[in-house]
Structure 1
Amino acid sequence: MDTEHRAEPPADDRDDLGRQVRDLVAPLIARFSPGGGRLRLGVNTAHYDQAASELEAYARPLWGLAPLAAGGGTFDHWELWRAGLAAGTDPEHPDYWGAVFDRNQRLVETAAIGLALALAPEQIWDPLTGRQRDAVATWLRHAVTVEPNDNNWLFFPVMVGLGLDRVGVAHDRDANTARLDRLERFDLGRGWYSDGPTWQRDYYIPFAMHYYGLIHATLGDDPARAERFRERAATFAQDFQHWFTSEGVAVPFGRSLTYRFAQSAFWGALAFAGVEALPWEVIKGHLLRNLRWWADRPIRDTAGLLTIGYGYPQPHLAEQYNAPGSPYWAMKALLPLALPAEHPFWVAKEAEAPPLPEVRSQPEAGAALLRCEEGRHVVMLSAGQHSPRMRHGAAKYAKFAYSTRFGFSVPAGTLGLEQGAFDSTLALSEDGEHWRPCELPHDPSSPSDGVLRARWTPWDDVEIETWLVALPPWHVRVHRISTGRALRTAEGAFAVDRDRPPTRADTGPGRARLDSPHGLCVIEDLSGRREGALIKALPGTNVFAPRTTIPTLRGDLPPGEHLLACAVLGLEAAASPEPEAGWPEPPTWASIEPLL
């Protein structure tokens, strides 16, 4: 793009991101081991060993530091990362990280080191001695030979290869070509990938599959493949923009939410690769609004370290692969710092989010996105995704709705509705104590016109067919239940922050309603068989609010065939009607039935 006649970059956008890198890294400086190879941020509770955890904490800040250096930004502590790279790759040093081996966490962290070598060799490679370079090269060349997991991990040795190419170290390029060929087989069309042969269509598609592909398209030497990566990313952007509100809030959904603002890294990767999938001012707005929103969240501890959690410190949310340094993957969002100030991305004036349709069906993700309240609230309806081996996998993938206003909740136990925190799902019980929500949906239909369908079988003799219907700002859930046993049911709406008293509440036959300074939430029974209740979930279950109340419909089912239906509404507090205006009217069953 011709930039000759463009104005100067808007004030401080680029400088602000540079300061953000230095601010995030500053609390780390005092936590290096004496030799520099380990960054010790706390007790490791991940499944991998302590050395890998401390390598992770060392490496992940490089996602921000390397672009900062490439773009000419200043940083006063590169000597720590240089010393750490030399020590961590030296088998004779106490800080040695250990060799990378097949499907091992160390391979994950080599990707950031590869990017640092590719973007900032003057800082992290050139000052090393010949012996130190040999040790680094040997360690990284070996990393290119190991077996990654069959998913986005295939990109990690590719990233290492880009770094080794930049510093003139020979490696097995054919192995990386084969990995890239395999990665392209995960292309689903319309810009979507799967993350390996799995059901997941989550943030790993934008911040891993597309992110690394766009870096390779920019730094690699395969023009045909680069063009495919760019074309897919440009197409994906048309869908991905629907995952963000007009104020920059992204839908919390899926695993690895502790990576937080990595969710907007895709927008910066588009800029890095020169892909104007949307006007530059729109791409810039998507990135910067999300970063500003995160800057206002209590996600750092008193020492300034990023915490494990999402909207606040919440270790209960963590996956089995989250160690103290894991959250620093968020720094992937700062990649555009590698671009010069005169790049069109930086020169562009940030634009507001463009108007988008109220409903966007995304068949590849098994989802439909609802834009409510002029785009200030986004709800994702989901059917067909699951992750049975992931901690809290059912809550992260198999709930019916995920909201940018109300988030979602993970269970605190198996006894009672308070422990289960069953927002946005239907839970079933034989005894009223032990509950089973939707966990493994199967046979999903392709979402069309905002209607989704899937089946699930919580017991061998219980089969449920569920439809989700987008009718912004409402959504409707319909369940056809065939059961060979008597069941109790509980179906939750959204979880509402209860730290401030509600302005009004109402429960009774067929309804549970709550209006508070944090938002309005309503669930109305369209099948006329259930009783409303307000369930106070145990603290620390919701990803946005530490303490929540869930408007819920409860009822009993004898053995046989049943049809349950309800309408759910969530609104911002500012959009809630005045009490004297009454409660919002739900869609009628007569208007829903023809859509199924």
Structure 2
Amino acid sequence: MIYDPVSANPLHGNPLKTRADVERALGDLFNPLLPFFSEGAARVRLDGAGAHFDRAAADLEGFARPLWGLTPLAAGGGKFDHWELYRRGLANGTDPEHPEYWGTVNATDQRMVELAAIGFTMRLLPHLVWEPLSEKAKRNLAAYLKHARQFDYADNNWKFFRILVDLGLAECGVEFDRSLTEKYLEELDGFYLGDGWYRDGNVRRIDHYIPFAMHFYGLIYAKLARGDEKRVAAYKERAELFAKDIRHWFDEDGGVLAFGRSLTYRFACGGIWGALAFADLEALPWGEIKGQFLRHLRWWADKPIANRDGVLSIGYGYPNLFMSESYNSAGSPYWALKAFLPLALPADHPFWMAEETPAVVSKKPVPLKHPGMVMTHTPGNVVALSSGQQNWQMRAGTEKYAKFVYSSRYGFSTEVDERAYSQGAFDGALAFSDDGRHYRVRETNEVAQIAEQTLYSRWKPWSDVEVETWLIPANLWHIRVHRITTPRALHATEGGFAIARADLNADTYIDEAGRAVAKSADDVSAIVDLTGKREGRAHRAYPNTNLIVSKTIVPQLRGEIPDGTTLLVTAAMALPAGAEAEAALSQVPHAPDMAALEAMFAREGVDVSAILVPERF
């Protein structure tokens, strides 16, 4: 027998069509964790890799994150045979005299994140996790939560974690300082931008934390809070607006835009659909919400996302530490179980009763001012032209936020060697080198604007080199215009979309003057120099750089940039292999009129929301 890594995926083979299928999926995801519970049940340790927080916090993460799925399961009447395990873990983890004590919170701490799942569980299932505890265990658990909640939480979505803990304490009759609850609710409102969009704190980025955190927790609050009708109404109104936009981050097959940090949480990205159902909010027709929810789960079912024992790996489409963040421990991926929130609903809820309907995909580009994106739907894919955001705090933050284009089908690549310019993937990016070894790409913007369906940014790879970039949708292609002003000669490499590469290089590679094309059994990717100056290269990128597939080909354009001002005009596209892709190769768009482009921005350009927060060093 040859090991097939896809078969280790707990979702593999599950049709994921019905509520029973979803319930089965949750059980299949949780059961591989059982052998890793500690003797006292308070810790779940899945491997030896580390995160920036201590081991006890990582073990708590492994213990608590499954509750995001298990709690809705039980609340909806589903069977789970291991609540005694969780009761024992709660008692021992909060007992300072027990060897499995989780450790005391004394400042901003990862434990604050994980305690939110416990508060959520106490709110929904006090009869399972609170009432059966001994009086000592109740005192310890209440004291642990009350102690943690008095410290400052990170100035972002973390503020919701105190809110969720407070919901649980209130449900269990524990007295606490409710003024802290109100304070954080008010501060969270300060992150709201309008049109349904938040930002995740005072930062230059708007990413998946808006759907799977800000709205997810807000909709839980809207369902479970008592006596806060005005805020509940606001959360629902915002979510209804947001749903009409965020559906364009999902493709017709259920894939989601690969963009930003924390993508190892995988199908948590679909949590927004389940949260709408949980809050009884028909922001879109129930059939559409259900379709988005189920298609997203199905999209993950044929990916090798688990280790041989069925434990979810750190990574995205496969195990991959290159794309991870410093706060990812082995238990981190189980935030994916947030997707199972609709299991709290009865089988006769309109969400479960609805007939699944296809995705609503726009034939026209969809501009999104707040994240600074223009979304285009192509077959089996959604593409985001991106004005560029900023994340200097996270590993590979530049690749996760500052590329020109992102995709659901083709993902993006993270670079693995900053001193190997000639080997860089640079998909969706323009890289410069002044020594042939090191390189610079866009990391942040000085200006980022949107006008109609076109994006503009001004950025500096070095303090004395300025680049202006325009991004324009062009049917199945998109166009990038770069005006580069440099006092010295540079070399530049610009990449298209990365597609899967077969073993033994059994693909088609076309390297030509002004064009590079890669053709695999499944996909076609091309990049064309519309000014005809650069050399094309179908580049075999380093393995394990792309998020979705482990080996890729990236069509690139490469050439010298003289001192002075240079204009580069590029067209790029990627499509599933077939007649449509072949036809597109012969229908390359034309370069835009620069005077008209500049006049449009002078007349209509507005700042994207992601650029409006001051930089913090």
- TM-score, normalised to structure 2's length? 0.92
The answer to whether the 8 Å contact 1:485/1:558 transfers is yes
**1:481 aligned counterpart, secondary structure:** strand
Q: Cα 1:12–1:557, aligned 2, differ >3 Å: closer, same or farther?
A: closer
Quote the offset at 1:352 in angstroms: 1.1
Correspondences of 1:274-293 after superposition (within 5 Å): 274-293=280-299
The residue number in structure 1 matching 2:400 is 396
The answer to whether the 8 Å contact 2:121/2:129 transfers is yes
Answer yes or no: is 1:120 the counterpart of 2:125. Answer: yes
Aligned mates of 1:577, 1:219 — CA distance in 2: 49
The residue number in structure 1 matching 2:5 is none
Aligned mates of 2:507, 2:540 — CA distance in 1: 17
Quote the offset at 1:101 in angstroms: 2.8
The aligned amino acid for 1:547 is K
Quote the offset at 1:187 in angstroms: 0.6
Q: Cα 1:57–1:35, aligned 2, differ >3 Å: closer, same or farther?
A: same
Using CA pairs below 8 Å that are at least 6 residues apart, which structure has the higher relative contact order?
A: 2
The answer to whether the 8 Å contact 1:412/1:419 transfers is no
Aligned mates of 2:351, 2:563 — CA distance in 1: 61
Answer yes or no: is 1:449 the counterpart of 2:452. Answer: yes
Q: Cα 1:412–1:371, aligned 2, differ >3 Å: closer, same or farther?
A: same
The answer to whether the 8 Å contact 2:502/2:520 transfers is no
Quote the offset at 1:167 in angstroms: 1.1
The answer to whether the 8 Å contact 2:16/2:297 transfers is no
* Cα shift readout 1:8-52 (whole Å, capped 9, x = no counterpart): xx9971111111111111011111111111111111421000000
The residue number in structure 2 matching 1:572 is 576
Answer yes or no: is 1:329 the counterpart of 2:335. Answer: yes
Quote the offset at 1:363 in angstroms: 0.6
Aligned mates of 2:143, 2:584 — CA distance in 1: 71
Which of 248, 251, 256 aligns to 1:245? It is 251
Correspondences of 1:194-209 after superposition (within 5 Å): 194-209=199-214
* Cα shift readout 1:181-238 (whole Å, capped 9, x = no counterpart): 0000111000000001111111000000001011111111211000000000000001
The residue number in structure 2 matching 1:473 is 476
The answer to whether the 8 Å contact 1:502/1:515 transfers is no
Q: Cα 1:325–1:59, aligned 2, differ >3 Å: closer, same or farther?
A: same
Aligned mates of 1:12, 1:309 — CA distance in 2: 26
The residue number in structure 2 matching 1:563 is 567
Aligned mates of 2:316, 2:250 — CA distance in 1: 16
Answer yes or no: is 1:64 the counterpart of 2:66. Answer: no
Quote the offset at 1:274 in angstroms: 1.0
* Cα shift readout 1:116-145 (whole Å, capped 9, x = no counterpart): 111112221121111111110111111221
Quote the offset at 1:594 in angstroms: 3.1
Quote the offset at 1:300 in angstroms: 0.6
Quote the offset at 1:355 in angstroms: 3.8
Answer yes or no: is 1:164 the counterpart of 2:169. Answer: yes
Q: Cα 1:531–1:418, aligned 2, differ >3 Å: closer, same or farther?
A: closer
Answer yes or no: is 1:315 the counterpart of 2:318. Answer: no
Correspondences of 1:142-541 after superposition (within 5 Å): 142-221=147-226, 222-373=228-379, 376-417=380-421, 419-445=423-449, 447-499=450-502, 501=505, 504-541=508-545
The aligned amino acid for 1:465 is E
The aligned amino acid for 1:120 is L
**2:57 aligned counterpart, secondary structure:** helix
* Cα shift readout 1:386-439 (whole Å, capped 9, x = no counterpart): 101110000000001111221110001112346432111000001222111111
**1:546 aligned counterpart, secondary structure:** coil
Q: Cα 1:100–1:575, aligned 2, differ >3 Å: closer, same or farther?
A: farther
Quote the offset at 1:595 in angstroms: 3.7
Gaps of 5+ in 2: 1-14, 599-617
The answer to whether the 8 Å contact 2:92/2:101 transfers is yes
**1:85 aligned counterpart, secondary structure:** helix
Q: Cα 1:348–1:11, aligned 2, differ >3 Å: closer, same or farther?
A: farther
The aligned amino acid for 1:291 is L
Answer yes or no: is 1:550 the counterpart of 2:547. Answer: no
Aligned mates of 1:544, 1:576 — CA distance in 2: 23
The residue number in structure 2 matching 1:5 is none
The answer to whether the 8 Å contact 1:505/1:514 transfers is yes
Quote the offset at 1:503 in angstroms: 5.4
Which of 576, 586, 589 aligns to 1:587? It is 589
The residue number in structure 1 matching 2:106 is 101
The residue number in structure 1 matching 2:58 is 53
Aligned mates of 1:465, 1:486 — CA distance in 2: 17
Aligned mates of 1:95, 1:515 — CA distance in 2: 54
Aligned mates of 1:593, 1:210 — CA distance in 2: 41
Quote the offset at 1:83 in angstroms: 0.5
**% identical equivalent positions:** 49
Q: Which moved more, 1:343-352 or 1:232-241?
A: 343-352
Gaps of 5+ in 1: 1-9
The aligned amino acid for 2:111 is R
Root-mean-square deviation over aligned CA pairs: 1.6
* Cα shift readout 1:239-277 (whole Å, capped 9, x = no counterpart): 000001111110100000000000000000001111100
Answer yes or no: is 1:24 the counterpart of 2:24. Answer: no
The aligned amino acid for 2:236 is R
Q: Cα 1:333–1:262, aligned 2, differ >3 Å: closer, same or farther?
A: same
Which of 85, 90, 101 aligns to 1:85? It is 90
The answer to whether the 8 Å contact 1:418/1:538 transfers is no
The aligned amino acid for 2:42 is G
Aligned mates of 2:179, 2:578 — CA distance in 1: 57
The answer to whether the 8 Å contact 1:418/1:537 transfers is no
Aligned mates of 1:296, 1:170 — CA distance in 2: 47
Aligned mates of 1:208, 1:336 — CA distance in 2: 16
Quote the offset at 1:63 in angstroms: 0.2
The aligned amino acid for 2:573 is L
The answer to whether the 8 Å contact 2:507/2:519 transfers is yes
The answer to whether the 8 Å contact 1:567/1:586 transfers is yes
Q: Cα 1:366–1:460, aligned 2, differ >3 Å: closer, same or farther?
A: same
Aligned mates of 1:516, 1:229 — CA distance in 2: 45
The answer to whether the 8 Å contact 2:17/2:294 transfers is no
